[in-house]
Structure formats: C-alpha cells, structure tokens
Structure 1
C-alpha cells in the first residue's frame, strides 16, 4: 500500500459547492480544543442574548404610564438581570411574594421564568450540538493525502543489460504478485465476508453487479453449468464509476470522468479441443512427440501446429498421482500485442479483438470431498472408499471428474466524458489507452489528466486473475488433501472474488500514484529498478503538468481516529452568530444611550416612551437604586460624572450599616460619625416589651476631641444639646446635621439625651485632618 500522510488545514471537498465543501482538518486534540471553545462561545452568546432581551423588556416596561410596585420590581429586575437561572428563580420568587396581592401576578411573573427557561434550554442545546460541526472521533473521515512522488509507476527494462533486465522483471513480478495477493485478501474480507478492513480508500468497496448472460461461445465449445450440463456465462459490471465519488480524485464536476469495466467468465467444454501430450522444445512443437512429462491441451484452429497454435495449459503428469491440492495456470491475450505468448487463446472459438482475454486452467490432483461436487469447474463424481487420508477408512470420498478444467474470461473497459456524453468504445486495455491518448471524447485538460491517471492505475482482472491456486477460496477452505463439499455455483463466487480483488487493486494503485510505497529518500534501497524520470512522461507529452500537479494535491483518503473534519461554513455560522449576539449586547445600550443624548444635546425632544426608557435605565441601575436608598437615609450631594451611569457623592461619606425594622431592612442616618449596630436582642421585635415599643427611639453619639482626649458618657449626655458646649469646642469640631433613626433604644426612657425619630439635631465629632494640598479648597 502507499506511504501517504494526512494533510491538516483548510481544503475544499467538491462533493458539494465550494462554500459548503470548505473543510478544516485538525488532529483529534486540537479538535477537542476547538469544540470546547465553540461551546464556551455559545454560552457567552446565550448570556448576551438574555442581556438583549432584558434591555428590550426594560424599555417596554419603562414606557408604561400606569405602574404598580410589582411592575416597578419587574422593571428593576430586567435592568439588573443576571443569568438565566437567576431570572428563572426571580420570577418564581416574585410570583410567591405577590400572589393574591396584585393583578395578573401569574402571567406577569411566571412569564419571566418561562422566557428565561426557554432561552436557557435553547442555548444549552446549542452548546451541546455545536459539536455537530465536527465529524465524530469514532468514525472514518475523508481527508486529503499529502503527495509524495506523484506519477505513473514505471520499471526499467534495459535489454542491453541482462542483469538490469532480469532485475526489472523480478521487481515488476514481485510488485504485481504482492498487489494481487493483497487485493484478493482485501476483497475476501470486505466483499465476501462483509467485515471492515483498513485501506484508506475514499470508498471502502466499489459497487458491481453479477448476473447470468448467454454463453458467448456457440461453435467448437459451449459453456457448462452444474453437473457439466449446458449452462450460461456469468457477467460482472462495475460502473460507471465516478473519478471523484468512487476513487477520491477530488475535483469539481467539470474535471471528472467516469470509468466502467465488465468481465464475462464461463466454464468451457474442452472435448472438442485436441488433447495430446507434447514436448515444449521447438523441434517437437508439433505435438506429435510423446514424452510423458507434460500433458497439454492444444486448440486446432488452422493448419499450423507450431508456436502459434494456442498453448492453453500444461501440467506435470505426476500431479495426476500426487496429493498436491489445487494448481492453476493461465494463458492471456491482449489485442495489440503481437508476441506469441499473448496470442495463446486467439482464434476460433475464442476470437475477440475487442477484449482482453484469459484462459484459466485448474487441476485438483488427488483432492477429495466427502460429498459429490456438481460445480462445473470443481466437479467431483469419481467415488472411492479406500482413501487413507479420509476421516474413516470406510468413508466414501469423491475425486475430480477431470484432471483439467478450463475457464475463459473476457474483460472490457470504457471511459466517458459526463459533460459531452461521449464514451470510448468498450475495448481492451491497449485500445482504451490509444483512445485516451488521441482524446477521441473531447476531454478538457483536467479530465485528460484524470483519465490518464485512471487507466495507468487500472488493475486488469485478466492480468491478475488466478495467479496461483492461493487465489482460490476452495484452496484456502480445504487445504491440500480434502474437505467439505462445494456448492454448484462455487466457480461464480471465485470469479466475483477475482473481479472484486482487481477493483481493490485499482483503488490501491490510485493511492500509490500520489504516494509510492517506499519511505521518502529510500528509493534506491527498495525499488532501484523503477524509472523515476518516466513518472511524468504521459503528462508532459500532453502538456498537462499543471493539471497533473493538481491531482497530486487532491486525493481523498479515509482516516479513522487520528483527525477530525470541521465544516468551515458551520464554524463560520456559529462564530458569526455568537459574535453578533455578544457585540450587540455590549454596544446596544451604549449606542441607544448615545443616540438619545445626542438628540437632547441638539435640543431635539425624545418620544415619551424613549424619554421614559432613558430615565428608567438610569433610575433602575443597581447603583442608582442604592443611591436612592441612601438619599432617603440622609446622604446628599450626589452627581454623575460625564456619561457614566454610576452616581457618586461629592465628598467622602460614612454610611451606617442597614438595620431591620418590622421585618424590612433600612439604612439609618448615614451622617453618624460612629454608628453602633444594635444587637439582635435589642432590634428584635419579639424581645422588646410593649412599653419599650411605645418609647421614642434614642440615638447616642460619641464625641472625641481633636487632641485625642475623651469625654465620658455622663459628660456627653449633659452636653449633647448644649450650644455653649459646641461653642467651646470651636474649630476643633465639625458640625453634622443628623436625622434620628432607631439605632439604639433606651430601656428606661429616662435618658434626657434621647432624640425623637424625625427630630433634627446638631452633633459634634472630631474634624478629620485636612490634606495639605486640599486645605484651601476645604476652607
């Protein structure tokens, strides 16, 4: 098999339009990273989508004229909306709190939860199914192979150098034999036993059909069926096979060709063929000299009994008596070749100038079966009960009815131009090569390069059929002595396996065309009889080297568990859609706000809904909600800087912690110098007596002098409301106006320093040190 590696990166699969076929191939590791990043991006897009929805709903709610508290809470919710889960829980919480206290609570509150839940489910599913943009890690994927030594494989046959000629012949024979055995094993696993096998082919098996056809031989011989009765031939058709779809030569539709092959085989009757012993040497080639070493079958089709009188089969006589199992040989003929060997089966009744032919002869020696075999090619009817190798000495076994059986096969090929509907005639290999070389079917340059590559890689069934008995399934099943009986159509199974094996060999040769089976830089050690300079010769003669190089870069192969393919279109859609949501969520509030402010700065008025939305967006912001709560507690002097929505105070302010009253938290007077947080016992309504509840809240203030001296509690209470005491402190104290809040209750009510809730008092606390740089401004 070829020595290809896998291309990673961007490429186009021309199974569909370029936009749809754009593919990114990465390793499994980087594929996992990419899927994780896409899932995160989808999650971010989901959060952004909720932000967009919340912005829209907030503006819709803000435009309403009549509002209740629930309406305002929903408005604040959408202004400060968090995640899907937060909104879902908030909707449920609002429903429970307002149930029975406002109109249409269920519709108004649970709609929030439902909307959040739907969007959450939608984007959660999108985050999971985003992995569908990639192929599965447990599936085979089509990828591009990296080329290495592209071109036709050519062996050097230098007749002037006997050693080089012999070495080239040996290398060529070895290459053919290795391919034949590999193809046969592959076809047995994939086509016959229907189990997977690693190959790298873009299509693991090529489709073909087999069916009976009338016997093509009607004079001089006939076709045999079960029990050697007169029967039909068996025809196998593959095609038209698309160069892209079936062979993985990745190309647009206008650069493809189709190829078809058909083979017809028949078991033939040899009784009318002269059978005589003969001697193979030239002086005895007339077949009249008996030697008793070989048995030969000679076909008499003219007066000449010499070298051209069709040698079909030869077999050593001793095979008749020794248990050597199956032995097969073949004779070939290809129209256009004039050597005697390739004329071996020409003439009557097998004369066919438009097909490659093979005559395959098989002897079974002393093979035996435990049941009669009616198959015409492996027919065994001669019984015997004294076979020493049988399971039982008394068992009846059956031997082959004939020493030699003969099968004749013809094969034709055709290449078509799918855009002009022109096809070459069905013919043998040489005539097909001539038709493509002369471009008789108007192929464009890309199609011509594809056709040249295809016919150079075709493994002819005739040239590869039954190279030895190891190509027979029965030989693998029954060994060298005996075995189980065979079905009457065993010969059909054998020829279909040969046909499938040669389809597989053609696929393997196409892969070797782009990546030769030797490691890079090691040609001299593996295939030193290969002519590397001749690999480009047909393409240089046709002036299509550019198209040939494109074929090198575009061979599809199948890979498992090493890489992943990502649809570039799907990736683009996910990234663009998610990015659009994210960017919209980020810029939409700012853009809307900028547009509105720009209109106001020009003196243009906004619509009533737009103005309400603008103000509500400022008012319902979480920091502004806090500012409004603090303003209620006495913190003043708020402002916004520039376009910022965050309110700030003009100076530093001490904020007292919130306290609880009647089950509701509230901020106390925030102008206290030092705020004492009441204990749970003093703030709890359950632990306070009715008398204590009726008393006014008290506020205690600690005062420390600037110099660090302290004033005890009695002095504080005596002087808390004294103006003279304030005047004595002078500039060492700062003046604060406080709003009394229920920070701490006096248990007795006797405290004269108690301050009623709502009363305004003036208290003193040490003035903070003034920084040198800002002292003048403070003064």
Structure 2
C-alpha cells in the first residue's frame, strides 16, 4: 500500500507559498506470518516447563517473534488454547520497533530503514457461518451443533507483520529522499543536495514529530479488537461470512486510519489540547538552540494551519446559488409577460379568440359590470378585459332595493 505524493499545503494544511511546501509519500508492506511447521517461531509448552506454569502439555503456545522488555528469550506472546472454549471473541496484541527496547524483534523480521509493526489476532471461540480460506481468518474446520453447520478457525493465533517507509520531496527541484523509516527521515531530508529552504526544513521537522508515532501499532493499541472490520460481523461468538481477502481489507482500513490520524495530529499542533490545565504546552520556538529565524517560522506555524471545520459555518456552491437565483428571476420575469405573449400569439394565429373573450366576459368583475349596466349605472369601458372600469369622471350609485335580500 502506498500513497501518492501528499502536498503539505493541500493534504496537511500547512498554509504557505508554493516555494515553501514539501511533498510526502508513505509505503506500507504487510504479510501474514507462517505458523504451521515453524518451530523457530511457534512452540507448544510441554514437560517440566508446562508443569512449572501449572498446565498440561500443549495447552500453552509460545510465539517467538522477539523479546519483550523483561521477558524470557524471544517469547513475544504466551497463548492459552483453552481460550477457544471460553466463549470469547477476538483478542488482539500489537508491538512495534524501534520502541525504546519495549520489544526487540527477531532478525528474520528486521528490514533495514523501516518501522516494524507486529499484529497478532486470536479468534478464540469465534464460529463462522461460512467456510473461509483467508490466510489470517481461515476457518475450514466443520462444527455441527444442533443441526447447524459452522466452521472453526484453523489457527489459534494469526500474526501479521507490517513495515513502513517514508519519503520527502522538494517540489521546487523534484529532488527526493530515499525511502527510509521514521527515525531516519529527518537526517535524510537535511542533506544539502535536496536544497530545502529554511521554512521547508521546519515543515519537515514538524511532520517528523508525528511520523514516529504513526505506525499501525499507534493506530490500534488502545482500540484492542475493535479496530477489526471482521468484528463488525460478529454477534456473540458467531461471525457472518468473510471474504477470502479479509486480512487485506483490515490492513487497508488501518492504512486509511493512520493517514487520517496524521492529518488530525497536524491540526492539533495549531489547535492545542482542549484541556490546557492538564498538559504542559511545548513551544518549539522557545528552544534556545534554534536560530531566531527558525523560531519565527515555528511560531508562524500556529497561525498558518488550514483546516476543514463546519461547526457554525455553511458550505455552499456559488455556481449552484447563481443558477438558483438566475432561474428564479427568469421565472418571475416570464410570469409578468407570459399572458401578453400568449395573447399576442393567439391573435397572431387567430385560434380560440371567441373562447378567450367569452372567458373574460364570464369573469366576476364583468358580471358585476353587466348588473350595473342593466340598471343604467355608469358608462363602462374595458368590457372585454379582466378589469372593467367606468369612464373618467362618471359617477353612479347602487339602487338600495337591489342590495336587500328578498324572501321567496
């Protein structure tokens, strides 16, 4: 998985001139790890060691992907297979390197100039309604319970290893660093051959502040098993059918979440913590080791952050609003001249003139005019129009006897 070149202005919101912008690219490669027939990494606990731990043989399984701080040997995880009968759902563990000696992976997992994440997924008592051949969520063991067929997982624990690499580019000269891990990207970017200016270098430093905490581990370690998309299809311990590439779906979702978290961290630099009383605010520009010009650039970052915030604002399309206003104005204008246009067309074509005149004469005002004319009240004009009226200066009155109701 990899991104296109992400622009510091457009994608991360660093609002600055074209010459002060940088480009960023991220590549992540993931792979399920083999667990069958690999005693170097998977070992069942037997004999004296099992008795010391208080268990029978083959109840506990050691996963040997690297030593934990204070741990024994290369043991990363000790899993109890009785969890498969405990009526529990997914359990996950995650580790990353370099991690200040919290976990030291075995040499087989180390790739130079990368950040390594290890994710272990245990399905425990999950029963699948459909057979699955996904390399991580594989379930082909048949379970017949009360006439219902289900499928049990093939592995107690499925490990996935992922490596991350980063690249920075100078858009003004199209020069780029090589793909490296987060701990080496800053040093690589400071190479004089790349010709980054002072503002670009400060932008790079700000970006790299968060790259070291942008691994899959940092995206999921507080979310436990809830990060799994497969968890969304589980009710109790029963799982709906999963596609045969479910592990790829999981990794792609983590990749997207990691990028979204990076964007959030960029905004947090300028926004600060919502609880200023609970944290100490670090101001990079007050560092005495920085030059005065670097300090000014660092401080300006707080005022030059672009963000999409819809709270209290309304987004609208100028084009759409213009079309709506123009169409409404057009309809209003047409309504004023439509009758005249139709009358002109009717006269021009000579069709329906008699019906039109009759329609006008049958109008309420014309009927009232006829009543007045019968009484000899007034001299009228506009006898074929919508609004009949008396000639100028002509006065008349309504006979009282016609205004009183008569009983029949």
Q: Give unpaired runs (5+ residues) of structure 1.
A: 1-235, 387-392, 568-678, 682-779
Against the structure 1 CA distance between its residues 427 and 309, is the aligned structure 2 distance closer, same or farther, given a 3 Å change threshold?
farther
1:239 corresponds in structure 2 to: 4
1:550 corresponds in structure 2 to: 300
1:416 corresponds in structure 2 to: 169
Note the alpha carbon deviations across 1:280-328, whole angstroms, 9 max, x for none.
xxxx9x9996543853212599xxxx95853333334431221110001
- After TM superposition, the score normalised by the length of structure 1 is 0.36
Residue 302 of structure 2 corresponds to residue 541 of structure 1? no
1:342 to 82, 103, 108: 103
1:358 to 105, 108, 117: 117
2:135 to 343, 368, 376: 376
Distance 1:355 1:291 in 2: 40
User: Is 1:457–1:513's contact at 8 Å kept on the other side of the alignment?
Assistant: no
Aligned counterparts, 1:345-494, within 5 A: 345-348=105-108, 350-386=109-145, 393-436=146-189, 441-458=194-211, 459-467=213-221, 468-494=224-250
User: Is 2:120–2:160's contact at 8 Å kept on the other side of the alignment?
Assistant: yes
- After TM superposition, the score normalised by the length of structure 2 is 0.67
Computing the radius of gyration from Cα coordinates, the structure with the larger value is 1
Note the alpha carbon deviations across 1:422-444, whole angstroms, 9 max, x for none.
22221111111333466663311
2:93 corresponds in structure 1 to: 329
Distance 1:432 1:321 in 2: 47
Against the structure 1 CA distance between its residues 499 and 418, is the aligned structure 2 distance closer, same or farther, given a 3 Å change threshold?
same
Distance 1:562 1:310 in 2: 55
Q: Give unpaired runs (5+ residues) of structure 2.
A: 319-391, 395-408
Distance 1:494 1:297 in 2: 22
Distance 2:306 2:51 in 1: 58
User: Is 2:285–2:296's contact at 8 Å kept on the other side of the alignment?
Assistant: no
Distance 2:83 2:393 in 1: 113
Q: What secondary structure is seen at the aligned counterpart in 1 of 2:209?
A: helix
- How far is 1:375 from its partner? 1.0
Aligned counterparts, 1:588-667, within 5 A: none
Against the structure 1 CA distance between its residues 262 and 300, is the aligned structure 2 distance closer, same or farther, given a 3 Å change threshold?
closer
Against the structure 1 CA distance between its residues 539 and 256, is the aligned structure 2 distance closer, same or farther, given a 3 Å change threshold?
farther
- How far is 1:366 from its partner? 1.0
2:404 corresponds in structure 1 to: none
2:78 to 298, 314, 318: 314
User: Is 1:414–1:427's contact at 8 Å kept on the other side of the alignment?
Assistant: yes
Against the structure 1 CA distance between its residues 545 and 680, is the aligned structure 2 distance closer, same or farther, given a 3 Å change threshold?
closer
Against the structure 1 CA distance between its residues 366 and 563, is the aligned structure 2 distance closer, same or farther, given a 3 Å change threshold?
closer
- How far is 1:549 from its partner? 2.4
2:43 to 276, 285, 289: 276
Note the alpha carbon deviations across 1:27-86, whole angstroms, 9 max, x for none.
xxxxxxxxxxxxxxxxxxxxxxxxxxxxxxxxxxxxxxxxxxxxxxxxxxxxxxxxxxxx
Distance 1:465 1:403 in 2: 24
Distance 2:251 2:271 in 1: 30
Aligned counterparts, 1:731-742, within 5 A: none
Distance 1:288 1:538 in 2: 57
Against the structure 1 CA distance between its residues 424 and 469, is the aligned structure 2 distance closer, same or farther, given a 3 Å change threshold?
same
Q: What secondary structure is seen at the aligned counterpart in 1 of 2:183?
A: helix
Q: What secondary structure is seen at the aligned counterpart in 2 of 1:238?
A: coil
Against the structure 1 CA distance between its residues 490 and 537, is the aligned structure 2 distance closer, same or farther, given a 3 Å change threshold?
farther
Select the structure with the greater relative contact order (CA < 8 A; seq sep ≥ 6): 1
Residue 50 of structure 2 corresponds to residue 297 of structure 1? no
Distance 2:314 2:135 in 1: 50
- How far is 1:268 from its partner? 1.9
Aligned counterparts, 1:54-453, within 5 A: 236-270=1-35, 271-272=37-38, 273-277=40-44, 291-292=54-55, 294-299=60-65, 309-334=73-98, 339=101, 341-343=102-104, 345-348=105-108, 350-386=109-145, 393-436=146-189, 441-453=194-206
Against the structure 1 CA distance between its residues 251 and 308, is the aligned structure 2 distance closer, same or farther, given a 3 Å change threshold?
farther
Distance 2:282 2:100 in 1: 28
Distance 1:499 1:474 in 2: 16
Equivalent residues, number = 308
